Amino acid sequence: MSLPASLPSLTEEAFAPYGKVIRHKGQERRAYFSSDIGDDVTGTSVTSWVSRIAAPLAEDMALTSFERHPHTDQLFVPLSGQRFLVVVCDDANGKPAADTARAFMAEPGTGVLFHRNIWHAGMQTFDAPAEFVVMMRKGLPDDDVFVDLDAPLPLATIASCATERAL
């Protein structure tokens, strides 16, 4: 199985419950989008950094954890033009519901904004090395909530579920 071919593309409609797909459309110089990154949360400030991913994901990759950010949206903007994996899932009583995981392939020239409190997997790329600008609010002890899954979740399982949902 070739993972990129089996994953649905990241579209605004499919991703809307989880966040926003960031890309320029139209002919205007600027394409604005809204986020909750700038919302004032006492004790936090907007923080930006560049993350580097040295190795591409393996076809036999399995997710072992999800993360979320209760006080802010989180923005990822690729600097190096690679395709990347976006995995999200629903919440089940404060924990990631791994059985609801959805995977998408983001094409070059696309960024992603995860809404506040959305469970998502750490950034992985199909092509590496890759670099991303990351923005979110930080300053509170629970800015980043990481939860280990009870059992590894193979990416191939998520990809096959995505294919079934599309049918």
- Convert the pLDDT of each residue in 128-152 to its tens digit: 889 999 999 999 999 999 999 999 9
Which pair of structure tokens corresponds to residue 151?
Answer: 């059992």
When divided into structural domains, the chain yields a total of 1
Render each residue's pLDDT in the chain as its tens digit; 167 residues.
Answer: 345 567 889 999 999 999 999 988 888 888 888 887 867 788 899 999 999 999 998 878 899 999 999 999 999 999 988 899 999 999 999 999 999 999 999 999 899 999 999 999 999 998 888 999 999 999 999 999 999 999 999 988 886 554 444 43
**Is there a domain that residue 91 lies in?**
yes
Residue 63 belongs to domain spanning: 3-25+35-166
Neighbours of 95 (CB within 10 A): 16
The pLDDT of residue 11: 93
Residue where the block lists tokens 């909530």: 145
Q: How far apart are CA 116 and CA 111, in angstroms?
A: 16
The pLDDT of residue 163: 44
The pLDDT of residue 160: 57
User: Does residue 5 sit in helix, strand or coil?
Assistant: helix
Q: Torsion angle of alpha carbons 22, 163, 6, 158, nearest 10°?
A: 80
Residue type at position 135: M
Q: How far apart are CA 33 and CA 52, in angstroms?
A: 25
The pLDDT of residue 157: 82
Buried b (16+ CB within 10 A) or exposed e, 111-139: bbbbbbebbbbebbbbebebbbeebbbbe
**Is there a domain that residue 146 lies in?**
yes
The pLDDT of residue 60: 86
Residue whose C-alpha is closest to residue 129's, from 80, 59, 91: 80
Residue 73's CATH number: 2.60.120.480
**Is there a domain that residue 30 lies in?**
no
